[in-house]
Amino acid sequence: MKQASHSPALAARLLVGMVLCAGLLTGCGKTEKWHSTNLKGSMPNLAFTMTRASDGQQVTAKDFRGKVTLLYFGYTFCPDVCPTTLSNIGAVLKKLGPKADQVRMLFVTVDPNRDTLDVLKHYTKLFAPQIVGLRGTPDQLAALARRYRVSYSVTPKSPGHPYEVSHSSAVYVFDKTGALRLLISSMSTAKPDIDGATADLKRLIDESD
């Protein structure tokens, strides 16, 4: 059987094509690492019903579809962890520039007895316009915390014991469809990864677009 022959020019073109294809396949195989903890597929989509502090309206997760949404549990009387976290998130939002409009951070109070809607409204305004204060009933709060395995406790003041509140400090990040994607754990620390969190949020914004 006679073999087909190819000109040197055609052979060169075929070789270049094979190299390019190999390069594309290699590139597709690479998975860019997140700076935050990847939680994709580990927990259910964002779901809740609570009251928004800014206008007193009842809202659900559907009201935040189309935005990259951050979820954080805290309280306004928190002496250090909450203001540190919100300040650092504010810095991230500032670095995002115009893209920050595509992000919302939900600040869910674990101390609704003291955090009235008015208190929440004025507190969140101190940090960034994209931060939304949410207040729920005890059952609504417990359901949301349980959904994402968040621990919190409130111990009222009693003789010999001050009013005490404890809560988790991590920030959950959901994409524009409401799917849980990331856990940011450095925002309450002395060395927050501002640049890393900014890069992750940009990636989610662009990915959704």
Q: pTM of this prediction?
A: 0.84
- Structure tokens of 98? 């115009």
Tell me how far apart the alpha carbons of residues 145 and 110 are, in angstroms, rounded to a whole number. 9
Query: How confident is the model over 136-191, as pLDDT tens digits?
Result: 999 999 999 999 999 999 998 889 888 999 999 999 999 999 999 999 999 999 89
Structural domains of the chain sorted by starting position, each given as residue range(s) with its CATH number in brackets: 37-208 (3.40.30.10)
Supply the pLDDT for residue 18.
42
β strands within 94-130, DSSP E: 103-109
Percentage of the chain lying above the pLDDT 70 cut: 84
- Structure tokens of 176? 């524009």
Query: How confident is the model over 61-79, as pLDDT tens digits?
Result: 999 999 999 999 999 999 9
